[in-house]
Amino acid sequence: MKVYQTNEIKNIALIGSAKTGKTTLAESILFEGGLIKRRGMVEDKNTVSDYREIEFEREASVFSTVLYTEYNGFKINLIDTPGFDDFIGEVITALKVADTAVMLINSQNGVEVGTEITWRYITRDEKPAIFVINQLEHEKAAFDDVFQQLKQQFGNKVILAQYPVNAGIGFDTVIDVMKMKMYKFPVDGDKPEIYDIPDSEKDKAEKLRNEIIEAAAESDEQLMENFFENGTLTGEEIIKGTKMGIITRTMFPVFCASAKNNQGTSRILEFITESLPSPDEVPPMKTDKGEELKYDSSKPPLAFVFKTAIEPHLGEISFFKVCQGEINEAMDLINSDTDTKERLSQLFITAGKNRQKVSKIMPGDIGATIKLKSTFTNNTLASPKQQGVKIEPIIFPEPKFRTAIKAKSSADDEKLMTVLKEMNSIDPTFKYEQSKELKQIILSGQGEMHLNISKWMLENIDKIPVEFYPTKIPYRETITKSAKSSYRHKKQSGGAGQFGEVFMMIEPYIEGKPNQKEFPVRNQEVYDLPWGGKLVFNNCIVGGAIDSRFMPAIVKGIMEKMEEGPLTGSYARDIAVSVYDGKMHPVDSNEISFKLAGRNAFKEAFKNAGPKILEPIYDVEVIVPEEKMGDAMTDLQGRRAVIMGMESEGNYQKIKAKVPLAEMNRYSTTLSSITSGRATYGMKFAEYQQVPMDVQEKLLKAYEEEQKEEE
């Protein structure tokens, strides 16, 4: 295969809601480019993009797929992305390395919540974009309505490059206002016949062409001067101005397609090669220090790994974009994140599971390699001359769905943890934690479907039967007032005895508030607890009642009890402890004696200090259609939510609320049900707050029952 230079490369991400036809369009593009001889169909399970077993079963994309084709002397890299919000991480990684987003819109459904979700990331990353209104062959295709939705949602930058003459059953004709020609597509999707625009469409086409000319002229000062001087632009100037408008995000052209029938694809490909930017025409990638990297082949090589996958019979495959320099086969590079040396023994370009070996990959291009030792998504590979240089990492959204998991057979426990680690390396939005606190393995992801897919893969690919069950809530315990206690530990057996007595006072620790003044503090130590909050330990002993060498043992005893709080076994936090008196024995006192005395004194004082249970509170943002806002609000209020505010986002409303984590169980499923799948949400930990008294009583009772069962 020809080695393509930076200016001969186009990097495209196919983006859109589920069922907009991204995979079908990708298949059509590969067919038009000659990479495949026959177009597959999702329903027939024979597309290049959806080739994994889980995608066969669901008849929908679950992972993004890196593809390529050649057209008009250009190499076009495509990344076909899933449409469900649960797999948003795949979209975000694609946008990181794509230079243009091609947003597909379902001609029946128009702008969907998934459209808006992905558009936020396109806007965040300042990516150039075009729209393709697809499935125009459908009987319910409503092109004009959908176009108006696009303008209403995304502004007047959305501009028609084409419009259909006969959308609906029998669709086969579009007017192309950039070329000022009429394209008529054969039923089998072969090359279109090109005609002059009929008189009945000329006025409409001329009006739309003038809009494109004006938008193109506004993208460049010289073009604007030419426009004022001549009253129009030449065809070449329109192409130049359109490209500049797309790059600067002042134009979002709209195209027509029936990807299923391969109608419109060749014109879209022509536009991609003519008017979409190459990597060196858009802002380059940056280092984590904000320095821009030029796509310069003379510079030392630098590559960013944006995706990791595990393929049957091949193992781990790493996909990368070359940000600088040339990447050659058998090249040694340094992983800037781990400082490990990696050899790129083989280089590939990929189209789904099909791979073509290459010897060199140029700046701006996308390639793949296999069997790297310790390189994963978000890692930078650099030449020794640039060791330590890191590309700005991909920022993934916080998880919003949690479940506990366990292997049905304890013999699979070790294998389960190994596979979960692999799954996280493939998909950073899928997370797992072996929680010492909750004594559970916790999975978290972007939604219930996301985690159900992981369960399917564990059971069907890795042959590990597992079960999901509710996660425990990481409650915290604290106190609301001061209390005193004492405890004498005394044990006498045949040999040496044990003796230690501790008197202590405990009180709430509040940042900025002074500690107790009842006892003089000889020494104070402040411990930042691993689970959040603080323990302040005051040594108030005078006269040597307890030797200072036993103080660490007392702290250890207190800390042990804080790791398993007296109320529910949850971590305790934000407590100040003052040890002010005690007794010791010249022979029998030792560290274990004072550890146990400190532990039990703390336990007794805690119960008398107005103990309270704290629960984790999350900031939740729900984006919901206006007509469904009432249902969403009612559901949130039933979850003890505190509504913090509302604001409009186009045709949607954003509800901001603080919600206890305990009330968010299966929220994604409920929200989807009450809004017919048209809403989405995000959540992020905010703080701990006291639980209401009735909730605390239920938790205490449940813990008491649990303790009885264990006895």
CA distance 220 to 161: 19
Which residues of the chain are under the pLDDT cut of 50?
none
Those residues whose C-beta lies under 8 Å from the C-beta of residue 233, and which sit 6 or more positions away, are 213, 216, 217, 223, 226, 227, 241
* Three-class SS state of 665: coil
Q: CA 243 → CA 119, 163, 251, 498, distances in Å?
A: 20, 20, 9, 83
Residue 49 belongs to domain spanning? 6-281
Domain assignment present for 259: yes
Q: Which of 610, 626, 641 is the last residue of a domain?
A: 610
Instruction: Assess whether 438 and 314 both reside in one domain.
Output: no
Domain assignment present for 294: no
Per residue in 289-321, is it b (16+ CB within 10 Å) or e — as a string? eeeebebeeebbbbbbbbbbbeeeeeebbbbbb
Count CB-CB contacts under 10 A for residue 346: 15
CA distance 402 to 454: 12
Structure tokens at 469: 């069950």
Instruction: Assess whether 56 and 71 both reside in one domain.
Output: yes
CA distance 575 to 598: 14
The strand ranges marked E within 275-365 are 302-311, 315-324, 327-328, 331-335, 340-344, 347-351, 354-358, 360-361
Query: Of 590, 582, 370, 607, whose CA–CA distance to 506 is shortest?
Result: 607
Those residues whose C-beta lies under 8 Å from the C-beta of residue 388, and which sit 6 or more positions away, are 336, 382
Q: Which of 572, 591, 610 is the last residue of a domain?
A: 610
Domain assignment present for 709: no
Question: Distance of alpha carbon 533 from its chain centroid, rounded?
Answer: 28
Domain assignment present for 644: yes
In the prediction, which pLDDT does 497 show? 87
> Which CATH number belongs to the domain containing residue 645 in this structure?
3.30.70.240
CA distance 8 to 73: 7
Instruction: Assess whether 308 and 341 both reside in one domain.
Output: yes
Count the alpha carbons within 13 Å of 91 in the hemisphere toward its beta carbon: 31
Domain assignment present for 291: no
CA distance 631 to 525: 51
In the prediction, which pLDDT does 649 show? 77
Q: Which of 472, 507, 530 is the last residue of a domain?
A: 472
Structure tokens at 238: 């329109």
> Which CATH number belongs to the domain containing residue 73 in this structure?
3.40.50.300
> Which CATH number belongs to the domain containing residue 325 in this structure?
2.40.30.10
Instruction: Assess whether 409 and 495 both reside in one domain.
Output: no
Instruction: Assess whether 153 and 95 both reside in one domain.
Output: yes
In the prediction, which pLDDT does 666 show? 85
Instruction: Assess whether 131 and 199 both reside in one domain.
Output: yes
Count CB-CB contacts under 10 A for residue 643: 13
CA distance 267 to 30: 14
Those residues whose C-beta lies under 8 Å from the C-beta of residue 86, and which sit 6 or more positions away, are 445, 446, 447, 448, 449, 450, 453
Structure tokens at 77: 């890299």
Domain assignment present for 699: no
> Which CATH number belongs to the domain containing residue 506 in this structure?
3.30.230.10
In the prediction, which pLDDT does 711 show? 56
CB of 445 closer than 8 Å to CB of 405: no
In the prediction, which pLDDT does 494 show? 66
Instruction: Assess whether 526 and 420 both reside in one domain.
Output: no
Domains contained in the chain, number: 5
Domain assignment present for 226: yes
Instruction: Assess whether 52 and 199 both reside in one domain.
Output: yes
In the prediction, which pLDDT does 419 show? 95
In the prediction, which pLDDT does 710 show? 66
> Which CATH number belongs to the domain containing residue 450 in this structure?
3.30.70.870
Domain assignment present for 30: yes
Length of the chain as a residue count: 711
Instruction: Assess whether 266 and 166 both reside in one domain.
Output: yes
Q: Could you identify the residue written with the tokens 């890795």?
A: 462
Instruction: Assess whether 421 and 558 both reside in one domain.
Output: no
Instruction: Assess whether 276 and 320 both reside in one domain.
Output: no
Instruction: Assess whether 325 and 197 both reside in one domain.
Output: no
